[in-house]
Structures are given as structure tokens and as C-alpha cells.
Amino acid sequence: MQERSGSRRVGRTSAGSALCVAMLMSVAVLVAGAAQAAKPDTPRDVVGALLSASGADEMIDSFIVQVRNEMNLRAADLAGDHGQFFRDAFEASFDPGPMRERVIDQMLAHYEDDQARGALAWFESPEGQKVRKEESYAQSAAAENEMRQFIVAFEAEPPNPERMRLAGEIDRARASSTLSHDLVFQFMRGLALASSAISLEDGVASEADIEAGLREQLDPLMPSLAQQMVIFYTFMGRNLTLEENRAYLSHIESKEGRWFYPAMHAGLVEAMGNAGSRFGADVTEHMEKLRRQAEAAPADRAE
């Protein structure tokens, strides 16, 4: 598998673009989990309950399933035992359990008890449950046909302008499209680091080259991602009244929401970045070990 210099080193530009779009719903929609029955006591308990109640736990699992598909495409290009090691290193690095704990640790570094408990109370309230039900359905397989029909109708005749405005404000306040971009960036960065360590025909790509290439590839997608989120949140809110959509936006913009969403986003991006860096480092270390062994072999035979 060949990785070229500069921005071309990251390879698979169309695949990366498709991945960013495919990740959109799984990383941006975080209201799908079940509420915690027991009242949490410690800050770690509260943050863990928030990840469950907000659907972030399910999102992490969903994202890993999606990126595993992209990783397998890369692994299939690799010769010999490299592909299997590539897969094994991925599974070790992108283990959902440790990633979840890293998200919690990051959120605890900025923990605010009143805001955290207030956010949890909203997710467990009738209002939060209703929004969760609509978002959970909107991202389910059962909604796929309805969503496709909605998109066709949306493009032919856009819906109520106020609903579209609120959908755009919800995306802006939650930074959903930005989160999608940042998580895909971190994964693709780790994938490119690992791939570059195996393909050495024109040298190992530097992290700076890889990151520059990924930004060149992914940054132009932001307007498209934002537009898709407007469509998604309009679809999600179609069964909510305008007042209920406004109340949802108010929750996101409340002091609880202003703590929860940025803290969670930072935790998710940090966890994904750490997993990607570990993936790249493990593959690089493995390949360097194999090269040292290969270089030593002729000397051993000569003796």
C-alpha cells in the first residue's frame, strides 16, 4: 500500500470524505441511551450516568463499528501478516471500555457538579425523554426510508423556515458537525500514521504532513456537514412543536448544556486522538522491530 508525500500521503480522499459523511449521524446524535435507575453519588458516577443517558456510550460503539470498516479496507491492502497485525492493533487501541473511561477522565477535569446533575436531570425529564425518543428514531434503521423521502421533499420544497432556523441553531449550539469533523480527523490521523509506518517506499510521512493533508481533505466538507445536520435536526423535530424545538435549544444553551456538550465533545475528541496515536505508535514500533530483525539477519548468516 503506497502513501505519497505531502497531502497525498493520507490517500483515499474520496473514502475519507465518505467516512466523514457516514459518521455524521453516529457522532452527532447523542440521545439514545436509557436513563440510569440509581441516583449517582460521586462525580464519576454522575458523568458515567450522563454518558449513558445522553447516548454517548452508544455513539462510541457506533463510531467504532464505522471506523472498523474503513480500517479493514486499509488492512486488506497490506501483504502477509501486516494486515492481521494492523487489525489487532486497531482493536487494542480502539477498545470502547478504555475510551469511555478516558472521556470520563477528561470531563472530570472540568467537572461542575450543579451543571452536571442539572444536565442529567434534563435527560431524565419528560421533555428530555421526548426529545430522546425522536432522535433515537431518527437515527434508527426503521427511519431510513422516511428520511430519504424527507430529504427529497426538503430539496423540492423546504419546510417551515422557522424549523430550519431552529435546526441550524441546534447544530451550532451543539457543534454537531464540528464534532463529526474532529472525530473523523483524529481517526484518519491514526490510520494514516499506521499506514505510513508500513509503506516506506518514499519514507515515513511526518505527522505535520499527515495533519495538513487531512485538513485539506476534510475542512472543505464543513458546509456540507452543517447542511446535512440542518436536514437531520429538521427531520428529528418534525413531530415536536415549535415550542418544544425552542425548549430543546434552550436546554443546549443553558448553563447545564454549555457545560455538558463542550466537556463531552472535548472528552470524545481527546479519547479518539489518544486511540489514534496509540494505533499509529504500535504499528510503527512493530514495523521498526521487523526491520531491525531483517537488517540483522544477513549479519547472522555471515557469521
pTM of the model: 0.81
Q: Is the pLDDT of residue 238 over 60?
A: yes
In terms of pLDDT, which residue wins out, 150 or 35?
150
Domain ranges of the chain: 6-297
pLDDT, one tens digit per residue, over 264-292 is: 999 999 999 999 889 888 888 888 888 78
Q: Does residue 115 contact residue 39 with C-beta atoms inside 8 Å?
A: no
Q: Does residue 47 contact residue 259 with C-beta atoms inside 8 Å?
A: no
Q: Does residue 247 contact residue 127 with C-beta atoms inside 8 Å?
A: yes
∠ at Cα 264 (259, 269), nearest 5°?
A: 135
Of 115-119, 152-156, 161-165, 193-197, give the lowest mean pLDDT range: 193-197
Q: DSSP for 19-59, please give it.
A: HHHHHHHHHH----SPPPSSPP-SHHHHHHHHHHHHTHHHH
